[in-house]
Structure 1
Amino acid sequence: MLLYNRLSRPELEARLRSETFRRRTLSFYRYVNIDNPREMRDRLYIAWDRLKCYGRVYVANEGINAQMSVPEHNIEALLNHLDSVPELAGMRINWAVEDDGKSFLKLVIKVRKKIVADGLNERLFDVTNVGNRLSPLEFHQLVDKEDVVVVDMRNRYESEVGHFKNAICPDARTFRDEIKIVVDQLKDKKDRKVLLYCTGGVRCEKASAWLRHHGFKDVNQLHGGIISYAHVIKKEGLPSKFIGKNFVFDERLGERITDDVIGRCHQCGDPCDTHRNCANDKCHKLFIQCDKCFEKHHGCCCEDCVNTLEEIRR
């Protein structure tokens, strides 16, 4: 049995279109000791491939981080399988807020040194000394208080299309950069109540421990992240204090939380929150592009890429 995909993108897209059942998108993570990540990776691939699961999964000695698309009729089987693996039993599941069933085209499970690239040396601090985990409702009650500091622990391209109204959104392209920027940017606020949030919660685990290591006294994090917050707020009938879109790392590139459009097209500056990857595969830059500029620039991020794409198509 091949433990990796061999199909081309057009073949994968055709396979997805031919499916007669619905899919649901979910995500989960856990920091847990995995003695043999390679063996775990192969076991999971075999089990999840049989269930026709697609997604992107990272396995490391420190744990697992997964975003997946699962056929509705196989969800129970997947959850039962998770509970059958000691390291994954009782896993907290985040369900997508806005789901078209087309979040992933294939199953990719990779062994990594870390489940999130943070650039931190775990020997220098206690990674288990994390911040207080706040429920979505607790976070909702605190997030707009004058005496708290709210920090978006996601990258700039994520926060520019959606964030909590009064959050500090560092200008960082990677989590590795951001975690250092935040410590420096908040160095005079170590006695304040700090609220951290991210997409599903995984980045805040390391970030909160890193802040506590640097002397921050009252560190808190949104348990389950923006995804959990959106579900709970909708269920309770409360107005969302997160505005705009929640960026996601799959084919959807975002799920709408509120109707607010806070982003801007990177080419013309008009209001827009549609992320695209440059149509020139040699570039594939992620950027915000409105429909007008998509037509004008043929889905490319710049004129050089337009010219390159035209040369390829000749």
Structure 2
Amino acid sequence: MNQPYSILLYYCYTPIADPEAFREEHHLLCLELNLLGRIIVSKEGLNGTVSGLKEDCEKYMQLMHADPRFAKIDFKVDASDKHAFAKLHVRTKAEIVHSGLLHIDPNVRTGVHLSPTEFKEMKDREDVVVLDVRSEYEYSVGRFKNAVTLDIENFREFPEQIDALKEKYKDKKILTYCTGGIKCEKASAFLLDQGFENVYQLHGGIIKYGKEAQGEDFEGKCYVFDNRVAVDVNQVNPKVISECYVCKTKSDRMVNCANPVCNLHVPICESCGHEMEGACSAECKDHPEKRPYDGTGYYQKELNGYNPLKGFNRRKTTGVSA
């Protein structure tokens, strides 16, 4: 298959003195390179997922690495036959991943970074707990075998789990993991802050583990935040763990309910998808606003007059300044 595009997943905890100025310059840079995706800028750093032609993504990575602030970025790169996004959004926020832990700086102290090979070697030891710090809808479609999961809908709820984790696992070695590594930076740092002594994190997350350790013992698919929704990771002993929301058979086919008022994001098998016309229930199937079902269960958001240059007054730039 011809795959002329790349999808980049990356983050970097690094001080950015003027996030708004950087955001504007960076947005223009991405436009010049024809990149689409989502990038968050804050005083603590940068968090992004973008897609573009391979040569444009290569230039982007070269420019980022040339800036001392971003020299340490570990880009996770996937090949694709098309863009993974329809728009470009570069936004400023208080944190590059919402945790509420503004006092935690991973550059000062965080968990020991483990390579995929090191993580694989440690994860099944008796004195180790493998902790998934992602949200329920992410780990429901895929997670490491025997991983401890948390009843959270968003990462900002993670701090609320600390007391329960202390009660069960205070004296264990904690190996944290997430999609690409960014949540683990804050999660493992916070665990150390709260008195845990042996804390580690999977460097590069599930995506890097799939590339360098063939994804062994990761069961199901990895949830991603682009149009692919979920991707295969395990090349050694793959297993489907999620169930169709309608019939309860094994299925990792993530869809959105065809009823936009519901829009429930769950696995629905292909058979039920067609039978229910993309809906998650009989009520949603009969809803007057139900969207036409094209067999995918993915509904591209309307561009609604999207103008990537709206509000920009500065001249275009080819650097990553500001």
Q: Quick one: which of 152, 156, 181 aligns to 1:176?
A: 156
Tell me which residue corresponds to 2:45: 63
Residue 126 (structure 2) pairs with residue 150 (structure 1):
no
Over 3 Å counting, the alpha-carbon distance change for 1:169 and 1:303 in structure 2 is same
Residue 253 (structure 2) pairs with residue 274 (structure 1):
yes
Residue 94 (structure 2) pairs with residue 103 (structure 1):
no
Residue 96 (structure 2) pairs with residue 115 (structure 1):
yes
> Runs of 5+ in structure 1 lacking a partner?
1-19
CA distance in 2, matches of 1:38, 1:210: 27
- CA-to-partner distance for each residue in 1:91-119, whole Å, 9 max, x for gaps? 211123x7443421221111111111112
Over 3 Å counting, the alpha-carbon distance change for 1:21 and 1:231 in structure 2 is closer
Amino acid at match of 1:74: D
List aligned pairs for 1:178-217, cutoff 5 A. 178-217=158-197
Deviation at 1:21, TM superposition (A): 7.7
List aligned pairs for 1:1-314, cutoff 5 A. 22-96=4-78, 99-122=80-103, 127=106, 128-234=108-214, 240-258=216-234, 259-310=238-289
Q: Is the 8 A contact 2:134 2:178 kept in 1?
A: yes
Over 3 Å counting, the alpha-carbon distance change for 1:159 and 1:43 in structure 2 is same
Over 3 Å counting, the alpha-carbon distance change for 1:272 and 1:311 in structure 2 is closer
| Number of residue pairs matched by the alignment | 287
Q: Which structure would you say has the larger RCO, counting Cα contacts within 8 Å and 6 or more residues apart?
A: 2
Q: Secondary structure at the match of 2:287?
A: helix
Over 3 Å counting, the alpha-carbon distance change for 1:310 and 1:81 in structure 2 is same
- CA-to-partner distance for each residue in 1:173-194, whole Å, 9 max, x for gaps? 1111234225523434222111
Q: Secondary structure at the match of 2:169?
A: coil
Q: Is the 8 A contact 1:153 1:179 kept in 2?
A: no
Amino acid at match of 1:288: P
Amino acid at match of 2:100: G
Amino acid at match of 1:110: R
Q: Secondary structure at the match of 1:187?
A: helix
CA distance in 2, matches of 1:294, 1:221: 38
TM-score of the two chains, using structure 2 as the length reference: 0.83
- How well do the aligned residues superpose, as a CA RMSD in angstroms? 2.1
Deviation at 1:129, TM superposition (A): 1.4
- CA-to-partner distance for each residue in 1:104-152, whole Å, 9 max, x for gaps? 1221111111111112341xx5543101011111100001111101101
Q: Percent identity?
A: 35
Q: Secondary structure at the match of 2:49?
A: strand
Q: Is the 8 A contact 2:4 2:80 kept in 1?
A: no
Q: Is the 8 A contact 1:278 1:284 kept in 2?
A: yes
Amino acid at match of 1:143: K
Over 3 Å counting, the alpha-carbon distance change for 1:126 and 1:63 in structure 2 is closer
> Runs of 5+ in structure 2 lacking a partner?
293-322
CA distance in 1, matches of 2:254, 2:48: 22
Deviation at 1:39, TM superposition (A): 1.0
Over 3 Å counting, the alpha-carbon distance change for 1:57 and 1:137 in structure 2 is same
Amino acid at match of 1:198: C
TM-score of the two chains, using structure 1 as the length reference: 0.85
Q: Secondary structure at the match of 2:277?
A: coil
